[in-house]
Amino acid sequence: MAQMNMLQAILSAQKCMLERDDNVMIFGQDVGYFGGVFRATEGLQAEFGAQRVFDTPISENGIIATAIGMSINGMRPVAEIQFSDYIYPAFDQIASEASRIRYRSGGEYSTNITIRTPCGGGIRGGQTHSQSPEGIFTHISGIKVVMPSNPYDAKGLLISSIESNDPVLFFEPKRLYNGPFYGDPNAPSIGWDTHEKGEVPEGHYSIPLAEAEITRTGEELTIITYGTMVHVVETAVKQTGVDAEIIDLRCLSPIDYDTIINSVNKTGRCLVAHEATKVGGFGAEILSIIQENCFWKLRAPIERVTGWDIPYPHAFEWEYFPVPKRVGKAITRIMEA
Amino acid sequence: MTKHQSSRQNNLHIPEPKFRPGQTNDFAHLKIPNVDEAPKPAIDCNPHNIRDLAYGLIRVLDDEGQAGGAWNINITPDILRQGLKDMLLTRLFDDRMQLLHRTGKISFYMKCTGEEAISVAHSLALKNSDMVFPSYRNQGILISRGYPLLDMMCQCLSNSRDNCKGRQLPIMYSWKAGNFFTISGNLATQFSQAVGWAMAEARKGGNRVCTTFVGDGSTAEIDFHSALTFAATFNPPVILNIVNNQWAISSNQVVAGGERTTFAARGIGVGLPSLRVDGNDFLAVYAASKWAADRARAGYGATLIEHFTYRVAPHSTSDDPSAYRPADEDKNWPLGDPLERLKTHLINIDEWSEAQHEQLAEQYTAEIKAEYKQAESYGTLTSGARPDVSSMFEDIFEEITPNRIRQRQELGL
Ligand SMILES: Cc1ncc(C[n+]2csc(CCOP(=O)(O)OP(=O)(O)O)c2C)c(N)n1
Ligand SMILES: [Mg+2]
C-alpha cells in the first residue's frame, strides 16, 4: 500500500497497464513530454517511450477517431480529453461510432478505447473548465460511463476501464485530484492522506464496473450520488445528524440496480445529488429507477440536489455548486415529509 | 526520436521540437528571407499564381529597422506611432494584469507578449466597423479600437461593472459596440462562425469585412477546416488569421503538423490566397492585412494569413514553460521584439525618440494604475461589489423559464 492522491492513483493505473499490456497507448493534448496539464501522465513518456505515450494535435475529434482506428488494429488506447468541457468536437465519434461499432457490425468489430477526462467545478475554472456532462453520455447505449470519488476507486476503476473490451468514458472530478472536498471552499485544503481511500495498492487490482459502493450505511434515508458530491453529501449528513445510507455509484452506465433498489426499499426515503445541471440530468434516471422499483416502499417524495440549470458562472461558483447547506435542506424536507 | 532506434520496421513517427529545457535553441534551422524577396501581387490576382507567398515570409522591416521591399506601402508616421502606442499600452496592461493574478485579485490571465504587432497592426489596417471573431490573445485589437481599460479590468475582476456579468473567466471579453464577438473558451469555434458572418455580409451586399484569429495548435480543430472549406466554397469577405507563435501550451507547432509545411499552406489546398507574414514586423502585418481587407472589400473574397511569431509569455497564469522549452528561447527568436523593432524604425525616420518613449511608458503606467484603482472600486472576484447574483439565472433564453425562477427562489433570491 502507498499514500496516493487521485492524480497519483490515475498515473499509477496507467503505468500499471503500460507495463502489463504492450498494446496500451496513451495520448492526448500535452500528455506526452509535459505529462498533462494536471500531470496525470507525468513521466510516462520518459519511461515507456514516445511510441506509446505522446502528444496529439488539438483535435478532440481526431483524438477519439484515431483511438478507435488504433483499437481496431489491435491496440488498447487510453485517450485524454484535456477538459470534459472540450469533449464535444468528439461527440460524433463517441455517440455514433465508438458506441455502435460492436452493434452495427453484428459483433464482428468492437472498440476498447478508454477516454479519460477531468470534469466538475470548484477550481474557479469558469464555464469552460467546470462542466459535468456525464448525463449527455449516459443517454447513449454502448459507452460505459465511470466517475470515481477517491484515489483507491480511481485506480481500480481505471484499470477495469482500460481492460474492458468496451469503450469507457472515465470522468475525473478535478476538485478531488489533490484531496477530498467536503463542500466548504473557505476551509483549508486537506490531502488524501486524511482519508482511508488515499491508501492505494502499488500493483495491479481492479474494481468491477457497475458495482456501486455504500460509503455509509444507514436506516432512515438513502442518498445516491457520485464524484465530488460523495464528500459534500457526507458533510450534510453529519450536519443534519440523520442516519443516512450513502451510495457512491462509481459507474453510471451500466448502473448497479440492486444496490440502489435494496437500499431505498430499506429506508423508504431517497435523495439524489449531483453537480451537473438538473433538467435531463442523470438524477432523473435514478429517480425513475426508484419509482419503477420502490414506489410502494416510499415514505416521502424523492428529491434532487443538483447544479442549477445554467452554465457554470465564474463569479458565482459557490452559489452554483450544490453546497452542504442545500443538501442539508433537502434532507430535512424529506425527513419532515 | 530517430527512425532506426527500434527493431520494428515501421515506427510511428512522433514529432518532437528540436530543443527542450537545458538546451539552447539558436533557431539556426529557420530560414529568414530578406525584405525584398516577397513580391506584392495585385488584389485581383489569381490565387494560383501567388502560392510562393504561403511558403516565404513577407517582411518590410530589416534587421536595422529600415523599411523596404514590395510590401513597404509607406504607412504614414501617424499610423506607425499609433501602432507603437497601442502595442506599448497592450504590453503594460498585460504586465499589470499578470501582477494582479499573483496577488490573487483575479483568477486567471493570458498575456500576448511578443505578439502585439499582429493584433494592433491588423486592427489599424481594418476599419473599426469591420467585425472581429477573436481568439483569447487579441487584447491588442480591443486596445487599438479604444475599448476602455476600465471595462477590460472590470471583466477580469468579474466585478459589479463586468459587462459579462461575472459569467466568464478573465480575458474572455465581449464588446458588441466595438464589433468584437464574445470570446469562446472552446478553441477555433469562432473561425467558421466568422465565415458565416461574412457570408451574410455578402448576401446583404454590405462592405464590412470580417476577420478572425486562431492559434497554430488550434488549426487542428475541425472548425478550422470547416472555415477553410466554406471560405473557399462561398468566397465571402473574410480574413482568416493563424497566429503561429510556435507553441500550444506545451505542444510545439510540430505537433500540429508544422514539420511538413507552413500553416499558410493550409489555404493552398482549398485554393485561397495565402500569405505568410513576419508577425513581429508591424509594417508587414499592416500591409498584408490591408491587402486582404482591400481584396475582401472589393469583392475578391477570402484570404488566409499566417502570422509567424513567438509566444514569449507562458500560455497562461496556469502554465510554466520552463518544464517544456529552453528558458532563453524567446531571447533567441530571430524575428526580435515587435515593439523594439517598430520603435527603432520610428526613431530611424525621426518620428520618435527614446525620451518620448520613456515618457509615454510612464504616462501609461500611471493611467493603468489609476484605471485599476477605479476598477477595484467596483469590486474584485474576492471582495467588494459583485454582479447581481440573481442575474446568473438570466440570459439562458430571452425570457427566463419557470424552472429557473424556482431555482432562483430556492437560492433565496
Ligand atoms: C476545444 C478545446 N480543446 C482544448 C482546449 C484547451 N486549450 C486551451 S488553449 C490550448 C492551446 C492552444 O494553442 P494555440 O492554438 O497555438 O494558441 P495559443 O495559446 O498559442 O495562442 C489548449 C489545448 C480548449 N480550450 N478548447
Ligand atoms: Mg500557439
> Length of chain B in residues, anyone?
413
| Cα–Cα–Cα angle for B159, B160, B166, rounded to 5 degrees | 55
- With an 8 Å Cβ cutoff, are B185 and A311 in contact? no
Residue A12 is placed in which grid cell?
499509477
The residue extents of the domains of chain B are 47-317+333-382
Parallel, antiparallel, or unpaired for β B238-244 and B303-308?
Answer: parallel
pLDDT (0 to 100) of residue B1: 40
Residues A240, A91 share a domain: no
**Domain ends where: A132, A165, A200?**
A200
Same domain, A301 and A218: yes
Return the number of other C-beta atoms located less than 10 Å from residue A176's C-beta: 26
Would the pLDDT of B3 be above 80?
Answer: no
Q: Domain range spanning residue A109?
A: 2-200
Cβ of residue B405 closer than 8 Å to a chain A Cβ: no
Q: For residue B224, how far is its CA from the centre of ligand 1 (angstroms)?
A: 13
Residue A290 inside a domain? The answer is: yes
The pLDDT mean for chain B works out to 96
- Kindly state the DSSP code that residue B342 receives in the 8-state scheme: H
Domain end residue (candidates: A200, A228, A247): A200
The domain defined by B47-317+333-382 folds into Rossmann fold (3.40.50)
Say how far apart CA A237 and CA A312 lie, in whole Å. 25
* A residues 20-79 closer than 8 Å to B (CB): 29-30, 32-34, 37, 50-51, 54-62
Rounded Cα distance, A113 and A71, in Å: 7
A208 within a domain of the structure (yes/no): no
Range B226-234 average pLDDT: 98
Which residue of A27, A48, A51, A58 to mutate against B (max B Cβ within 10 Å)? A58
| Cβ distance of B220 and A58 shorter than 8 Å | yes
pLDDT tens per residue, range A186-232: 999 999 999 999 999 999 999 999 999 999 999 999 999 999 999 99
pLDDT band at B286 (very low <50, low <70, confident <90, very high): very high
Specify the DSSP element, H or E, that contains B369.
helix B354-376
Residue A129 known to be catalytic: yes
Q: What is the mean pLDDT of chain A?
A: 98
Task: Name every chain A residue with its beta carbon within 8 A of the beta carbon of B248.
Answer: 29, 58
Peptide bond before residue B170 is cis, with ω within 30 degrees of 0: no
State how far the alpha carbon of B400 is from the alpha carbons of A311, B165, B391, B394, in Å: 14, 16, 10, 6
- What digits encode the pLDDT tens for the residues B159-216? 999 999 999 999 999 999 999 999 999 999 999 999 999 999 999 999 999 999 999 9
How many domains in chain A?
2
**What is the predicted ipTM?**
0.96
Count the Cβ atoms, other than its own, within 10 Å of residue A193. 11
Least Cα separation, residue B262 to chain A (angstroms): 15
Nearest-CA residue for ligand 1 atom 20 is: B248
User: What does the pLDDT read at residue B413?
Assistant: 87
Residue numbers in B near A125 (CB within 8 A):
169
Residues A230 and A193 in one domain: no
CB B121 within 8 A of CB B285: yes
CA distance A217 to A212: 13
- Percent of chain A predicted with pLDDT > 70: 100
What is the CATH classification number for the domain harbouring A234?
3.40.50.920
Q: Which residue of B has its CA nearest to A51?
A: B12
Nearest CA-CA partner of B303 in B115, B68, B50, B60: B50
Give the whole-angstrom CA distance, residue A153 versus residue A192: 13
Contact B84, B342 (CB under 8 A): yes
pLDDT higher than 70, residue B52: yes
Left (φ > 0), alpha (ψ -120 to 50) or beta: where does B395 sit?
left
Minimal CA–CA distance to B305: which of B246, B240, B225, B213?
A: B240
Look at chain A and count its residues. 337
- Distance, CA B242 to ligand 2 centroid (Å)? 9
For residue A332, is it within any domain?
yes
The CB density around residue B226, as the number of other CB atoms within 10 Å, is 17
pLDDT tier, B10 (very low <50, low <70, confident <90, very high otherwise): confident
Clarify whether residues A12 and A140 are in a common domain: yes
SS3 B188: coil
Give this prediction's pTM. 0.97
Are A132 and A260 members of one domain? Answer: no
Query: Domain check: are A179 and A300 in the same one?
Result: no
Q: Is residue B217 lining ligand 1, measured as CB closer than 6 Å? A: yes
Residue B294 CB contacts under 8 Å (≥ 6 apart), including other chains = B43
Asked whether B314 lines ligand 1 (CB < 6 A), one says no
What stretches in chain A show pLDDT beneath 70?
A: none
A102 and A69 in one domain? Answer: yes
Find the B150 Cα to ligand 2 centroid distance in Å.
28
**Partners of A116 in the beta sheet?**
A80, A170
C-alpha B240 – ligand 2 centre gap (Å): 15
Q: What is the pLDDT of residue B8?
A: 52
pLDDT on residue B4: 43
Q: Which residues, listed in sequence order, are joined to residue B210 by a DSSP beta bridge?
A: B131, B238
Same domain flag for A21 and A166: yes
Cell matching residue A81: 480529453
Q: Identify whether residues A217 and A191 lie together within a single domain.
A: no
Quick one: three-class SS letters along B125-161? HCCCCCEEECCCCCHHHHHHCCCCHHHHHHHHHCCCC
What mean pLDDT do residues B255-269 have?
A: 97
Residues A156 and A235 in one domain: no
Residue nearest to atom 7 of ligand 1 (CA): B187
Domain end call among A146, A175, A200: A200
Residue A205 lies in a domain: no
C-alpha B315/C-alpha B358 separation (Å) is 28
Q: Kindly report, residue by residue over B347-358, the tens digit of the pLDDT.
A: 999 999 999 999
